[in-house]
Chains A and B, each alone.
Chain A
């Protein structure tokens, strides 16, 4: 019933989005695209994140499937990222120089063993994204839920108050250590390897989310609209997970996207120090460490690895910045309406011109 006028007169609905009933996936997507158009930098961030994520997924999913169908190993990277290739190395003054500068064949050049840098960067992409999302995601879920509990049930003298106190003091203990040092200590004690080092970063990452969430919950729960919801007969859980959660979502999501970049950097640092992933596994921080000694002779190797970190972090930061505007109803409406009026005026004025 409600969707009928929309299908009949899509243009009228577009001009006055308020006429449509609340919600609606199509409206959401349209508004999203409008905000994107109004915010070019968010657009850049969004497209970059999309490309990075899709590439990572493709790198993981396509080779085994295609390999099974075609009957021979398939690689999406232009060269084998781990096979040293010294055959084509030029010999100058009896010294084999394998690190080649960028060329048409090797876009990002090769490293000292003759391995294609582009292939290595691409091969590292799924692992780095997985690390970033798993660490930030676990931190968001764990820290976020602890923060919700600690913030909402913090009345002194009750069970909730005691739980809240315990959570916050535990958080303080974790935050008292610099997170990198703590992660290094945990990683060192767990032993070298990809899994342990991810776990180490995870263990140090959640306290930030507890603090953030708790602060936001406390700020929101004293708002008159929470009391109004309570007076309307809404239960406490629903107040927390609907009325309060929706209002703290914005800082959480923004912090999360920005954090994805930070995790990549921290993990790169751990790998750089030599505790993270094994040397032979392509990982960006690992590569920066490995190629550090080539900085003067073959700078493209370090630049390619560092550049990959830079672009990924930048993409998520730009997206995070834009998400703030999209999630806040005030700026979202302003943005969608600004975009809508410009597009409508453009559409109506173009036939005359």
Chain B
């Protein structure tokens, strides 16, 4: 595998609020290769969105606090980066699509003004007019080129701004027409008919599906190396959901960027992702290629999750469900967080938190990882 675009190592995030400390993420580690689509799946409150927000560091701190870990984007640790440099990474380094398309567009701006913001940021960074992480290369598949060194990533701002452009080998600052063309291009990319008309409209004049398309266009127009899609379809109704998912699937073929796709829908993840990470109570309990994880789960939680899928249940009778409920994140059980609900649980699970993600015994490729003492027994469970 080529050098990973994103490498998350032992990321722990707490929410410190009046009622106590909530461990939203605990020792989460995973890697994303260039062009890979990684799905993160889990139930409400398991830390999916916290993970998605912690990577570009747009978590509200406080109440959130990043306890430990590393988030390496193209080899650069975002957690040690000084605060003022963070905006220089976002947009061109990491793009985001949010859950609520209704509120994610500024109501005071026309669509053109919304979209041109990211395009402008990227263009100015491309020509080195403003400091910032250079965008992923066309067509976003930067795996074809050598990785830029960390030191080159933050381009030093030119102290004398107006030198002859040719002498410096720089492109001139793009004009309005160029911006407009580019914005239209991205609107067409997300299959918007009549983009010229859309440009002058305000967000409230568009439907939810349209707005989510605009958000996708906006995120893509930064040509990010990593795109984080935080439940992009959850707020949409079911038919629009299908449309947006189809669009994203098509875009994945055209735009080969790495995508972190966060969802609570196992079906959506199966459809979209190459790799999948399953989260439970702030822990990443299983990580591996989608087919492997879905066909041969190696963590009892994944197994239970898959078993509860109504589509797979054919016989009469109640749908199998997991006893108990998700533990309170401020008072996680001793040992493995899942043991009170686990049928495999033994004494060792109550005492020892269990391994962090590790491959199966005897496996040659370290692709399918699980965090369970008895991962080999999961396969045999009903």
Residues of B within 8 A of A17 (CB): 200
Min C-beta distance of A31 to chain B, whole Å: 12
A233 and B104 contact, CB distance less than 8 A = no
Q: Among the interface residues B87, B95, B121, B219, which one has the most CB atoms of the partner chain A within 10 A?
A: B87
B263 within 8 A of A: no
**Do B87 and A230 have beta carbons less than 8 Å apart?**
yes
- The answer to whether A155 has its CB under 8 Å from any CB of chain B is yes
Interface membership of B177, Cβ < 8 A: yes
Instruction: Give Cα A246 to B96, complex, Å.
Output: 23
> Per a CB cutoff under 8 Å, which of B89, B100, B105, B199 touches A22?
B199
Cα of A95 to Cα of B187 in the assembled complex, Å: 85
Q: Which residues of B contact A88 (CB under 8 A)?
A: none
B191 CB-CB contact with A under 8 Å:
no
Q: How far is the CA of A1 from the CA of B177 in the complex (A)?
A: 9
B44 at the interface (CB under 8 A from A): no
The answer to whether B200 and A18 touch across the interface, beta carbons within 8 angstroms, is yes
Write out the residue numbers on chain B whose beta carbons fall within 8 Å of the beta carbon of A61: none
| Interface residue? A235 (CB, 8 A) | yes
Whether B121 contacts A234 by the Cβ 8 Å rule is yes
Complex contacts, A247 vs chain B, CB 8 Å: 106-108
Within 8 Å CB of B218, what residues of A? 228, 232
- Give the most central of B58, B93, B108, B110: most A CB within 10 Å: B108
Q: Measured between C-beta atoms, what is the minimum distance from A162 to chain B in Å?
A: 16
* Contact present for B200 and A21 (CB under 8 Å): yes
Q: With an 8 A cutoff between CB atoms, is A224 at the interface?
A: yes
Q: Is A225 close to B, CB under 8 A?
A: yes
**Closest chain B residue to A246, Cβ basis:** B108
Residues on A with C-beta less than 8 A from B118 are 232-233
**B180 in complex: contacting residue of A18, A21, A234, CB < 8 Å:** A21
B107-A230 in contact (CB<8A): no
Stretch touching chain A among B165-173, B201-209, B345-353: B201-209
| A232–B205 CB distance below 8 A | no
Interface centre among A22, A156, A227, A333 (most CB of B within 10 A): A22
The answer on a CB contact under 8 Å between B200 and A20 is yes
Min CB distance A286 to B, Å, is 42
Q: Is the CB of A22 within 8 A of B98?
A: no
Interface residues of B in 162-211 (CB under 8 A from A): 176-177, 180, 196-197, 199-202, 204-205
Inter-chain contact B112/A22, CB cutoff 8 Å: yes
Q: In the bound complex, do residue A227 and residue B58 qualify as a contact, i.e. CB atoms below 8 Å apart?
A: yes
Does any Cβ of B come within 8 Å of A30's Cβ?
A: no
Does A37 count as interface, using CB distance less than 8 angstroms?
A: no
- Residues of chain B contacted by A225 (CB below 8 angstroms): 103-107
* B-chain residues with CB within 8 Å of residue A232 when the two chains form the complex: 90-91, 95-96, 117-118, 121, 218-219, 222
Q: Does B88 sit within 8 A of A, measured CB to CB?
A: yes
Whether the pair A233, B109 counts as a contact (CB closer than 8 A) is no
Q: Complex formed: what's the CA distance from A22 to B180 in Å? A: 10
CA of A246 to CA of B105, assembled, Å: 13
A231 contact set on B, CB distance < 8 A: 56, 58, 90-91, 94-96, 98
Kindly list chain B residues whose C-beta atoms are within 8 Å of the C-beta of A10. none
Inter-subunit contact A233/B89 (CB<8 Å): yes
A19 pairs with B87, CB closer than 8 A: no
Q: How far is the CB of A212 from chain B (nearest CB, A)?
A: 17
User: Which residue in chain A gives the minimum CB-CB distance to B109?
Assistant: A246
Question: A329–B108 contact, CB under 8 A?
Answer: yes
Q: Does B132 interact with chain A (Cβ within 8 Å)? A: yes
Tell me the smallest distance from the CB of B155 to a CB of chain A, in Å. Answer: 14
Q: What is the 8 Å Cβ interface bit string for chain A, positions 233-253, against chain B (1 contact, 0 not)?
A: 111100000010011010000
Q: Is B92 an interface residue (CB 8 A)?
A: yes
Q: Please give, as numbers and ranges, the residues of chain B lying within 8 Å of A330 by CB-CB distance.
A: 107, 202, 204
Tell me if A233 and B121 are in contact (CB < 8 A): yes
List the A side residues contacting B382 at CB < 8 Å. Answer: none
| Residues 17-65 of A at the B interface (beta carbon under 8 Å) | 17-22
Which of B63-95 touch A at CB < 8 Å?
A: 87-95
Select the residue from A18, A155, A232 with max chain B CB neighbours within 10 A. Answer: A232
Given the complex of chains A and B, what is the CA–CA distance between A2 and B179 in angstroms?
Answer: 13
- Contact in complex: A233, B197 (CB < 8 Å): no
Instruction: Tell me the nearest residue of chain B to A231, going by C-beta.
Output: B96
Count chain A CB atoms within 10 A of each CB in B91, B199, B200, B202 and give the residue with the most.
B200
Q: Is A344 an interface residue (CB 8 A)?
A: no
Q: How far is the CB of B18 from chain A (nearest CB, A)?
A: 13
- Tell me how far the C-beta of A223 lies from the nearest C-beta in chain B, rounded to whole angstroms: 6
B62 in the interface (beta carbon within 8 A):
yes
Given contacts A20-B200, A233-B118, A246-B108, contact A228 B87 (CB under 8 A): no
Q: For residue B141, which residues in chain A have a CB less than 8 angstroms away from its CB? A: none
Q: Closest approach, in angstroms, between the C-beta of A28 and any C-beta of chain B?
A: 13
Asked if residues B106 and A233 are in contact (CB atoms below 8 Å), the reply is: no
The answer to the question of B126 belonging to the interface, with a C-beta cut-off of 8 Å to chain A, is no
Complex Cα spacing A229 to B56, Å: 12
Given A230-B90, A232-B118 in contact, is the A246-B106 Cβ separation under 8 Å? Answer: yes
Contact A329 B202 (CB under 8 A): yes
Whole-angstrom CA separation of A2 from B181 in the bound complex: 11
Q: Are A228 and B96 in contact (CB under 8 A)?
A: yes
Would B100 and A224 count as touching, CB distance under 8 A?
A: yes
Distance of A333 Cα from B106 Cα, bound (Å)? 16
Chain B residue nearest in CB terms to A222: B60
Whether A333 contacts B58 by the Cβ 8 Å rule is: no
B114 to chain A, nearest CB (A): 9
Contacts of A233 in B (CB 8 A): 87-93, 118, 121, 132, 222
- Chain B residue numbers with a CB within 8 Å of A249 are 108
Among B100, B104, B107, point to the contact of A329 (Cβ < 8 A). B107
Contacts of B205 in A (CB 8 A): 333
- Is B27 an interface residue, CB under 8 A from the partner? no
Q: Is the CB of B108 within 8 A of A22?
A: no
Residue pairs across A and B with Cβ atoms less than 8 A apart, 30 shown, are A2-B177, A2-B180, A17-B200, A18-B200, A21-B112, A21-B199, A156-B62, A225-B103, A225-B105, A227-B104, A228-B96, A228-B98, A228-B106, A228-B218, A229-B106, A232-B91, A232-B121, A232-B222, A233-B89, A233-B90, A233-B91, A233-B118, A233-B132, A233-B222, A234-B87, A246-B106, A247-B107, A329-B108, A329-B204, A330-B204
Given contacts A156-B62, A236-B87, 18 further A-B contacts (CB under 8 A): A22-B112, A22-B200, A223-B103, A228-B106, A231-B58, A231-B91, A231-B94, A231-B98, A232-B95, A233-B87, A233-B90, A233-B92, A233-B93, A234-B117, A246-B106, A329-B107, A329-B204, A330-B202
A-B CB proximity, top 9 nearest: A233-B91, A231-B96, A233-B90, A224-B103, A246-B108, A225-B106, A329-B202, A18-B200, A228-B104
